Structure 1
Amino acid sequence: MADRLGPTRALVAVLALVLAALAGCSSDAAPAGTFTGSRVDPPFDVADVTLTDTEGQPFSLTDPGQRLSLVFFGYTHCPDVCPLVMSTISSALTRLDDADRAQVQLVFVSTDPTRDDADTLRNYLRGYDPTGVGLRGSLGDVATLAKSVGIFVADAQQLASGGYDLGSHGSQIIGVDGDGRAPVFWDGQVSSAELAADVHTLLAAS
């Protein structure tokens, strides 16, 4: 009887290991050692464009000493794509430890500056990251900045307000480093776990 139970117990042990492995695969954490974002080589040179933040102060992504910026172009009245991507960024930021979080900032660039005044942008960002930077400026300046990182605002659908709806084709998250370069971008479908893991990798390498 003991000999018969031996193989059975071994089979149970194997099944337990398999189930444990499957449980690990179902986790929403990004696999260690993977990088989900698309590397840009050579990196985009970010246009030296000065926009205005929600406090009325000038802001440029090329200013020396900027933290790693997760940049997204959108507008506050966007009904679908923008809220999804902004929620992903917000969730990714909460996954970072304190040391990493202190080195990263969310930057939201409005493509609808007529409706997205300072108060509107500020209130919008409170729902995702109260410390985030909301930027607005002329559509010409916004388009120049966007084009320099591979996003073509002028090709997007124009809104009745005069702004632009980039839609799903412009839903990328752009990573801009402290040297005013964009060495990476993420598709809007990236998960918060993947984005957070990539941010940690970038910071560790800097």
Structure 2
Amino acid sequence: MTRVQKTVFILAAVVAVIIGLTVHRVLQDNREGVNTAFIDAGIILLPEHRSVPAVTMTDQDGKPVQLDELKGKWSVLFFGYTFCPDICPTTLAQLRQVKSELAPAVAARLQVVLVSVDPNRDTPQQLKQYLGYFDKEFRGFTGDGDSLQKLANGLSMPYIPADTSQPNYIVQHSGNLALLGPDGTQRGFVRAPLNGQKLVAQLPALVQRD
């Protein structure tokens, strides 16, 4: 196992511990069943809000974007890539379906962002074309390796940078989603695999939170 792989493995283990402890704490503290319903839907809220690393990325239109620009809505960040053979298209298709089943007022308070873990191939043009197959309102971010690693680490979204010298390489990454609140802080995670029906049932209550 390489040094990078060891680091990612450790980070993934830490994420699992964070989620496990958060679930335990919520179950201990909650008496009304609301957070329990969130957990059943895979929505894991952190006990305290976490600041998001201040990095500059590039969006699907080729424009520089700060993470602060996501403020005002609830944001779901998925760290994946357009050449992914399985989990990425499946997840994006599920998010498209969830969005289509939400009331318009609820859907308007949510935004989906694909953060590419494959900046070598995922140009802004590639991101825009790919996301257009799912939902033209989905956003895509790409950036240099250092900024991407800083953002992924800050949001506890582990991935293993690929050996880009190999043909048809794949990138190992988490299937979880990072959940950001309207204030731009990380509020938690949406745990993989996604349960579309339960998310549709619980997201209206989530977006009513500040």
Tell me the TM-score normalized by structure 1. 0.76
| Partner Cα separation in structure 2 for residue 110 and residue 101 of structure 1 | 23
- Whether contact under 8 Å (1:111, 1:164) holds in the other structure is no
| Partner Cα separation in structure 1 for residue 82 and residue 56 of structure 2 | 21
- 1:122 pairs with 2:136: no
1:81, distance to aligned residue in structure 2 (A): 1.3
- Whether contact under 8 Å (2:177, 2:191) holds in the other structure is yes
1:159, distance to aligned residue in structure 2 (A): 3.8
Number of aligned positions between the proteins: 171
- Whether contact under 8 Å (2:78, 2:113) holds in the other structure is yes
- 1:43 pairs with 2:43: no
Q: Sort the Cα spacing of 1:147 and 1:104 in 2 relative to 1 into closer, same or farther, 3 A.
A: same
Moved more, 64-73 or 136-145: 64-73
- 1:183 pairs with 2:166: no
| Partner Cα separation in structure 1 for residue 197 and residue 70 of structure 2 | 29
- 1:201 pairs with 2:199: no
1:10-159 equivalences in 2 (<5 Å)? 34-35=37-38, 36=41, 37-63=43-69, 65-153=71-159, 156=160, 158-159=162-163
| Partner Cα separation in structure 1 for residue 184 and residue 157 of structure 2 | 16
Q: Sort the Cα spacing of 1:65 and 1:91 in 2 relative to 1 into closer, same or farther, 3 A.
A: same
Give the ranges of 4+ consecutive aligned residues of structure 1 lying more than 6 Å apart after TM superposition: none
- Matched letter for residue 95 of structure 1: E
Unaligned runs of 5+ in 1: 1-31
- Whether contact under 8 Å (1:115, 1:161) holds in the other structure is no
- Superposition RMSD in Å: 2.1
- Whether contact under 8 Å (2:76, 2:112) holds in the other structure is yes
- Matched letter for residue 184 of structure 1: G
Tell me the TM-score normalized by structure 2. 0.74
Structure exhibiting the larger radius of gyration computed from Cα positions = 1
Aligned to 2:13: none
Residues 83-141 of structure 1: per-residue CA shift (max 9 Å, x gap): 12112211111111111111111101111111111111011101211111111100110
- Whether contact under 8 Å (2:117, 2:161) holds in the other structure is no
- Whether contact under 8 Å (1:71, 1:107) holds in the other structure is yes
1:205, distance to aligned residue in structure 2 (A): 2.3
- Matched letter for residue 194 of structure 2: V
- Matched letter for residue 183 of structure 1: R
1:61, distance to aligned residue in structure 2 (A): 2.2
| Partner Cα separation in structure 1 for residue 71 and residue 152 of structure 2 | 21
Partner secondary structure for residue 208 of structure 2: helix
Partner secondary structure for residue 109 of structure 1: strand
Partner secondary structure for residue 195 of structure 1: helix
